[in-house]
Homo-oligomer: A and B are copies of this chain.
Amino acid sequence: MDTARDTETPATRATSIYERLKSDILDTRLEPGRKLQLRFLIEHYDAGQTPLREALNRLTTEDLVVGKEQRGFFVKPVSLEELRELTKTRRWVEGLALKESMANATTEWEEAILVAHHRLDRTPRSLDPERFESNPEWERLHKALHVLLISNCGSRHLVGFCQQLAERLQRYRALSSRKAFRVRDVAQEHSDIVKAVMQRDVDEAVRLLECHYDKTADVILEDLEVDPGIMPARADAVSA
């Protein structure tokens, strides 16, 4: 049930619970739509009501938790509709951010990308070469590369928004069972994007990045069509 990070500074109780809760929601250990009862949370997270309540309230603003007045908290439901909308939005906004990043390109930035890509490239996608088992280190480096690509755009707000979109999409990836393992050469896609960035070919880089996100969504959508019932077409009821 834990999410790692025991050695770090606990900072404040509310913050550490917030992080654990967020992580559990994003990795769908807490299923979409599930009711978050205080009793249950107090039990499983070994915490008091106040820090729990504060964490829940923070997540409410991030739209990862939905708070119905006087009726408690629920994990935000998922829907195919939202998956499509998130992907579309991410394409637009990250495309924009990458374009601006490249317009402001500096040597340091390009070198940092090269390094980040290299690190990702030499890290195995899966802990088990036979069947897929998520490698936290790969996930971390993958995220780092994508953030770096857009981080030179000159707007922390825009970068923050992109990260929020990525977080929200994380649940859909976690829900997808085979996770594009072997089906897709993700490493090649990353190499191509980085190459275009190095060549300062803005249009090509943006095109490849958009394509990258499209493919991710497509694989998830296929997966969910094969195994429907996991996800409603549109968000509605709550499976308590």
Contact = CB atoms under 8 A, between A and B. Distances in A.
A84 B21 CA distance: 35
How many chain A residues sit at the interface, stated as a range, is: 20 to 34
The 3 A-B residue pairs with the shortest CB-CB distance, nearest first, are A61-B61, A89-B155, A54-B57
A80 interface: no
Interface stretch (A9-17, A114-122, A137-145, A212-220): A9-17
Given A57-B57, A62-B61, A96 B92 contact: yes
Contacts of A55: 57
Which applies to chain A's interface (DSSP): helix, strand, loop or mixed? Answer: helix
Nearest to A88: B155
Contact of A53 (B50, B161, B168): B50
Nearest to A165: B157
A12 B70 contact: yes
A210 interface: no
Given A89-B158, A96-B96, A12 B60 contact: no
A58 interface: yes
A156 interface: yes
Contacts of A61: 58-59, 61-62
A154 B158 CA distance: 19
- Residue among A53, A59, A89, A168 with max Cβ neighbours from chain B (10 Å): A89
